[in-house]
Amino acid sequence: MRQRSRDISERGLVQYLRKNYLNFINDFIVHTLGFTLLLVAILLVLKPFLMDALERRNKARLELMEIEQQKEAQQRTARWEKRYRPVVTALVGAGVGFLVG
């Protein structure tokens, strides 16, 4: 154990990982990238159906609400579109960019 820790400190952690776990790291990166690309492809196919179902559900809810409740619901939707959605999009983009890079 002592010899191994000394090897790590002398050569550096990155070199140690590269020498001993190169295949594992490469396989992990390839599988993660493949999983991400498959997930994106599936979501691109499913997104129109999901968005249509959500829109129909929201319209049905709005019809059941009173006028003041409708305005409040529309303000919440506007807040989501204006503030939170761009942040979520940027974080997802950063995550995918990190995996691809």
Q: Is 49 left (phi over 0), alpha (psi -120 to 50) or beta?
A: alpha
Question: pLDDT confidence of 5, banded at 50, 70, 90?
Answer: low
Look at residue 76 and tell me whether its pLDDT is greater than 70. yes
Percent of the chain residues past pLDDT 70, beyond the cut:
88
Instruction: Provide mean pLDDT across the span 42-58.
Output: 88
Question: pLDDT confidence of 10, banded at 50, 70, 90?
Answer: low
Question: Could you tell me which residues come within 8 angstroms of residue 25 by beta carbon, excluding any fewer than 6 positions away?
Answer: 17, 18
- Computed over every residue of the chain, the mean pLDDT equals 80
Q: pTM of the full predicted structure?
A: 0.49
Coil/strand/helix, residue 65: coil
